[in-house]
Chain A
Amino acid sequence: MKNIYPKTNQFQHDSVHNTPSPHMGPQTTHAAAPSNYQTIKTIFHALGFGISGFILLTMFAIFISNPTEAATEIPQVSINLDDVDSGQLLLRSENVISLALLLTTDVKVTVAGTVSRTTVSQRFINTGATWAEGVYAFPVGENAAVDSLKMRIGDRFIEGQIKEKKAAKIAYETAKSEGKKASLIEQRKPNLFTNTIANIGPGEIVTVQIEFQSKISPRDGFWEMRIPLVSAPQFMPQPILQHVNFGSKGFANTASNETLDQKRDIKIPVHDELINPVDISIDLKPGFTLGSLESQFHPVNIQKVSQGQYKIGLNGPVSSDRDFVLRWTANNKDVETSLFKETAQGVDHLLLTITPPFEVNTTQTPPREIIFVQDISGSMSGEPLRQSKLGLEMALQRLKPTDKFNLVFFDDNYFSYAVDPVSATAAEKAKAIKLVRSMQSRGGTQMYPAISYALSNFSYKTTAMKQLIFLTDGAVSSENSLFSLISNSLGTARLFTIGIGSAPNSYFMSRAAEIGRGSHLHIGKTSEISEKMNKLFLKIENPAVTDLKLTLPEGFDAEYYPSPLPDLYVGDPVSISIRGQNPTGVATLNGKIGSQDWTVKVPLEQAAETVGIAKVWARDKIANLERSLIAQSGNDQSQENVDIELLRTALSYGMVSRLSSLVALDVTPSRPTTSRLIQSKLPTAIPHGWDKSQFEFKRQDILSPKLQKIQPPTARLYKASLSSDSTTYNLPQTAMNWRNKAFLALLSLLLSTALLWISRKPAYA
């Protein structure tokens, strides 16, 4: 301590006249003793020098640190595969998972009758500074069959081939046992298409094009096509870890719960200056005269190409912030019943769509018991909950005094309005609506206990129609346990799911409704609530079409799905996929509307040829097999048989499923070889038949000036593999340029000789 003060003192006195000092504290205490004008002036000088010195130093520091590098840094967003609700490329580099920057999305759809074929092309760039492993993920909808994958990664061209997934997994396990880093990310959600891409170079552009086939059935009198375009965060229920201590008598004396992890950090991609431009074009051949055609959320251009063919497109690319929904109706209700055919692999495939008659006697509605389950978790906060509460209020208003109802609210916990369902008297309804209005959103999503409670809350003695109405955004990850709960505890009740908001988890909700033998309703915006809720309630207040049965003509041996056929409500179509040899004769569909018999006779020969029906059949069969798996949970043998059947179907129809995936095949065209084999900067050749508008581009044409600053990727050598580790080698500088030096040396010698000659002694001297 003694030495420090004199030293500081010395430093102060030197510095006031020469170099500036940033340490002003001790100086002021010294200056306070002989307070005169000179000292103050010196202090001001020192201050001036100090500040200007500091500014100079800072400027120098900024100058030497590379400012251009800082400018090209683009924030990468952390994400989980479960959070993917629209086409994304997830990159993993040193165990950090981030989103690749989406440059463009292009969606082309061809609709023919009741089937559609969608081609999605997306372009991404790895803005990271290192090589990364990528997973391309795209939500393909509930009844879509993915059968084609094309990728351009830098100058590599990769095409997918359908192979059994197990083989891919064994290769991965082998690689892992050899001590290589894990590269496979398991698919968690069945409606999410994923594909792994290894070794995406820094600054490398990845173009992905997938194609899928889907079925479009008329519902409530209209056909609807939805393209998922927006990402919403989802909550994963926290695992609960319980600590128990047993006292000396064998009973637990303390128990404490703790969740294993902090709430998962969920970030929504926010790029103020960067948009995800999307372009959509649809080629619509409805096969009948249109009544109406409209885009729900986006302004579109509709062009009539010819009789019965329309082109629908956006007015230029738009920002991707909500799903794209196109709807059309027919001016003649008869077309809601249709029959299409496709012959594939020598076998006929039929798609039969029938809509039960609309006019139903609404005066004799049977008594019902309804339990509403309302999601009030954090993900519902804001507009979704407000809309959901409105919908719930509307539903309560419609109840008749003969009906019984109860309300269950849930987030991390759940609570109900009444212990047992109560009669829907005016007083009870008013009280319940008051409770609904007071609800606030909070917490995580623990659906299981709430659903479990609601399913057991019905008073089973009554013969009334039991209906569970579930209002949620479906943002949940543990879907399978919920499916088996519904499947096992449903009894005679029916589950109806209502999805609210711009991006609900429609896979979960429609599958839950399917297992719950009810139906699913999606409400996208506030203005739709009243109309859609009315429709749903009109639907479920009325007797359903039950006991549906399809009888095929004698001699036509065929397989059809779904099996068993579901219950139908007003506005629901029944869509049946049939596969068999030479369909002839008349098939009969029998059912009951209330207590009335309903019969439709279908002449099978009259089916119209349409491409894509075979894939739809295979998709329906796979969906049916997946459903039967849930019902058979616990029986390993029958589950294995289902898996074998599922894989066989997926492979023979060339479709991605839980057990089959697309394996990479290198299709990069080989460049022409010259005799001197000097090739430089040849334009990249596109494989034959590939979409040039998506796959042929120049870096500088598709990247903004900011992104162009990212270093282009290094060259690579690879085999047709999407999951291989790699090493980057720095190739040394290999030019000595000794010839130049030698030439220069000879020139100098020549020059010096010349100079010597000039400066020689004159002869006359």
Chain B
Amino acid sequence: MHRVALRTLAYTVMAAGLILLARASEVPLKALAGQFLLRDVWKQTLTSGNELKPWASADFKVTGELTIPRLGLSQIVLDRASGEAMSWSIGAVSSDPNTTNAIILAGHRDTHMKFMAKLRIGDLVNFQASDASIKTYKIIKSMVLETPQLNVEDSFAKASQIILTTCWPFNGTQQGPERYILIGQQV
């Protein structure tokens, strides 16, 4: 009787663990698989010139590609920073990064934007828009914001900037209001 109860408990804990593992691994798996899926769509976008939804049920489109030569990595950029979009890749906070001068991108600190911890001032960042044009930005400034709001003056945005944002601190275990931002000036 005693043994049966213990075994039941053991199976229950195991089931819970498995479910939790599945849910946790969804994040990195999506992040990894997403890049393969999205990269194909991005190639199509570049050839056709039209922004495309990666699959029919998606609520976002593929809009650009961010590359960091020094770190040898690149990430596909999606046209919005919704929770769903950001589980697949980096999202654009400003509604249309191709028309406004300032490009504001957001990504998870523990997946797509993990590289922000390794970026330094002076690093070069390339952004390719859906019209295939490539702009190069040099990181000029870093900031930690205490609140998740950022006010950008038009005169600042006019001077062609890229703003990368993610949650702060990098190794934090809880969700909080602080954000880390890097500002790149077009070169």
A selection of 16 A-B contacts at a CB cut-off of 8 Å is A675-B120, A680-B144, A714-B147, A715-B143, A719-B155, A721-B155, A724-B155, A726-B153, A726-B154, A729-B152, A730-B93, A731-B93, A732-B106, A741-B23, A748-B14, A756-B14
Contact with B along A734-748 (1 / 0, CB 8 A): 111111111011111
Neighbouring A residues of B16 by C-beta, 8 Å: 748
* Residue in A201, A679, A729, A736 whose CB lies within 8 Å of B94: A729
Report B111-159 residues with CB < 8 Å from chain A CB. Answer: 111, 113, 117, 119-121, 139, 142-157, 159
* Residue in B18, B26, B153, B179 whose CB lies within 8 Å of A721: B153
Report A685-735 residues with CB < 8 Å from chain B CB. Answer: 711-719, 721, 724-735
Question: CB distance B151 to A715 under 8 Å?
Answer: yes
Q: Is A755 an interface residue (CB 8 A)?
A: yes
Question: CB distance A677 to B121 under 8 Å?
Answer: yes
- Bound CA–CA A507/B144 (angstroms): 48
- Bound CA–CA A745/B157 (angstroms): 44
- Bound CA–CA A199/B120 (angstroms): 30
Q: Is B33 an interface residue (CB 8 A)?
A: no
- Bound CA–CA A739/B93 (angstroms): 25
Q: Is B108 an interface residue (CB 8 A)?
A: yes
* Residue in A677, A680, A712, A716 whose CB lies within 8 Å of B150: A716
Q: Is B17 an interface residue (CB 8 A)?
A: yes
Neighbouring A residues of B153 by C-beta, 8 Å: 198-199, 716-719, 721, 724-726
- Bound CA–CA A751/B9 (angstroms): 10
- 8 A-B pairs besides A681-B144, A724-B153, A755-B13 with CB distance below 8 A are A719-B156, A724-B155, A728-B150, A729-B151, A730-B93, A733-B83, A733-B175, A735-B110
Query: With A746-B17, A746-B21 in contact, do A732 and B81 touch (Cβ < 8 Å)?
Result: yes
Which of B6, B17, B166 gathers most chain A CB within 10 Å? B17
- Bound CA–CA A198/B152 (angstroms): 12
Question: CB distance A676 to B13 under 8 Å?
Answer: no
Least CB distance from A713 to B in Å reads: 8
Contact with A along B161-187 (1 / 0, CB 8 A): 101011110001111000101110000
- Bound CA–CA A747/B173 (angstroms): 17
Least CB distance from B28 to A in Å reads: 6
Question: CB distance A745 to B17 under 8 Å?
Answer: yes
Question: CB distance B148 to A716 under 8 Å?
Answer: no
Q: Is A752 an interface residue (CB 8 A)?
A: yes
Query: With A680-B144, A717-B183 in contact, do A749 and B17 touch (Cβ < 8 Å)?
Result: yes
Neighbouring A residues of B117 by C-beta, 8 Å: 678
Question: CB distance A714 to B149 under 8 Å?
Answer: yes
Least CB distance from B29 to A in Å reads: 10
- Bound CA–CA A348/B64 (angstroms): 65
- Bound CA–CA A741/B18 (angstroms): 11
Query: Which residue of chain A lies nearest to B83 when distances are taken between CB atoms in the complex?
Result: A732
- Bound CA–CA A744/B17 (angstroms): 7
Question: CB distance A755 to B107 under 8 Å?
Answer: no
Question: CB distance A734 to B107 under 8 Å?
Answer: yes
Neighbouring B residues of A761 by C-beta, 8 Å: 3
Query: Which residue of chain B lies nearest to A732 when distances are taken between CB atoms in the complex?
Result: B81
Neighbouring B residues of A751 by C-beta, 8 Å: 10, 13, 17
Question: CB distance A730 to B149 under 8 Å?
Answer: yes
Question: CB distance B143 to A752 under 8 Å?
Answer: no
* Residue in A676, A718, A736 whose CB lies within 8 Å of B120: A676
Query: Which residue of chain A lies nearest to B152 when distances are taken between CB atoms in the complex?
Result: A717
Question: CB distance B106 to A740 under 8 Å?
Answer: no
* Residue in A677, A728, A732, A747 whose CB lies within 8 Å of B119: A677
Q: Is A131 an interface residue (CB 8 A)?
A: yes
- Bound CA–CA A753/B26 (angstroms): 23
Least CB distance from B150 to A in Å reads: 5
Q: Is B109 an interface residue (CB 8 A)?
A: yes
Question: CB distance B86 to A715 under 8 Å?
Answer: no
Least CB distance from B32 to A in Å reads: 12
Question: CB distance B121 to A673 under 8 Å?
Answer: yes
Neighbouring B residues of A675 by C-beta, 8 Å: 120
Q: Is A35 an interface residue (CB 8 A)?
A: no
Neighbouring A residues of B104 by C-beta, 8 Å: 729
Neighbouring A residues of B20 by C-beta, 8 Å: 741-742, 744-745, 748
Q: Is A758 an interface residue (CB 8 A)?
A: yes
Neighbouring B residues of A758 by C-beta, 8 Å: 6
Neighbouring A residues of B110 by C-beta, 8 Å: 735-739
- Bound CA–CA A220/B159 (angstroms): 59
Neighbouring A residues of B148 by C-beta, 8 Å: 730-733
Instruction: Report, nearest first, the 6 A-B pairs whose CB atoms are least far apart.
Output: A748-B17, A714-B149, A755-B10, A741-B24, A752-B14, A745-B21
Question: CB distance A729 to B149 under 8 Å?
Answer: yes
Q: Is A759 an interface residue (CB 8 A)?
A: yes
Q: Is B50 an interface residue (CB 8 A)?
A: no
Neighbouring A residues of B18 by C-beta, 8 Å: 745, 749
Least CB distance from A153 to B in Å reads: 12
Question: CB distance A726 to B151 under 8 Å?
Answer: yes
Question: CB distance B149 to A728 under 8 Å?
Answer: yes
Query: Which residue of chain B lies nearest to A744 when distances are taken between CB atoms in the complex?
Result: B20
Contact with A along B80-94 (1 / 0, CB 8 A): 011100110001011
Neighbouring B residues of A724 by C-beta, 8 Å: 153-156
* Residue in B108, B119, B147 whose CB lies within 8 Å of A715: B147
Neighbouring B residues of A741 by C-beta, 8 Å: 20-21, 23-24
Which of B12, B91, B150, B183 gathers most chain A CB within 10 Å? B150
- Bound CA–CA A217/B167 (angstroms): 62
Neighbouring A residues of B165 by C-beta, 8 Å: 731, 734
Question: CB distance A718 to B149 under 8 Å?
Answer: no
Neighbouring A residues of B143 by C-beta, 8 Å: 679, 715
- Bound CA–CA A622/B64 (angstroms): 58
Neighbouring B residues of A748 by C-beta, 8 Å: 13-14, 16-17, 20
Question: CB distance B175 to A712 under 8 Å?
Answer: no
Query: Which residue of chain B lies nearest to A762 when distances are taken between CB atoms in the complex?
Result: B3
* Residue in A715, A734, A747 whose CB lies within 8 Å of B17: A747
Question: CB distance A742 to B13 under 8 Å?
Answer: no
Question: CB distance B166 to A755 under 8 Å?
Answer: no
- Bound CA–CA A725/B147 (angstroms): 21
Question: CB distance B87 to A736 under 8 Å?
Answer: yes
Neighbouring B residues of A744 by C-beta, 8 Å: 17, 20, 24
Neighbouring A residues of B145 by C-beta, 8 Å: 714-715, 731
Which of A131, A676, A740, A748 gathers most chain B CB within 10 Å? A748
- Bound CA–CA A739/B20 (angstroms): 11
Query: Which residue of chain A lies nearest to B13 when distances are taken between CB atoms in the complex?
Result: A752
Q: Is B27 an interface residue (CB 8 A)?
A: yes
Neighbouring B residues of A717 by C-beta, 8 Å: 102, 150-153, 156-157, 161, 163, 183
Question: CB distance B17 to A742 under 8 Å?
Answer: no
Query: Which residue of chain A lies nearest to B151 when distances are taken between CB atoms in the complex?
Result: A716
Neighbouring A residues of B181 by C-beta, 8 Å: 715, 731
Contact with A along B15-43 (1 / 0, CB 8 A): 01111110111111000000000000000
Question: CB distance B152 to A727 under 8 Å?
Answer: yes
Least CB distance from A674 to B in Å reads: 9
Q: Is B7 an interface residue (CB 8 A)?
A: yes
Query: Which residue of chain B lies nearest to A131 when distances are taken between CB atoms in the complex?
Result: B151
* Residue in B7, B21, B111 whose CB lies within 8 Å of A736: B111
Query: Which residue of chain B lies nearest to A727 when distances are taken between CB atoms in the complex?
Result: B152
* Residue in B10, B26, B155, B163 whose CB lies within 8 Å of A752: B10
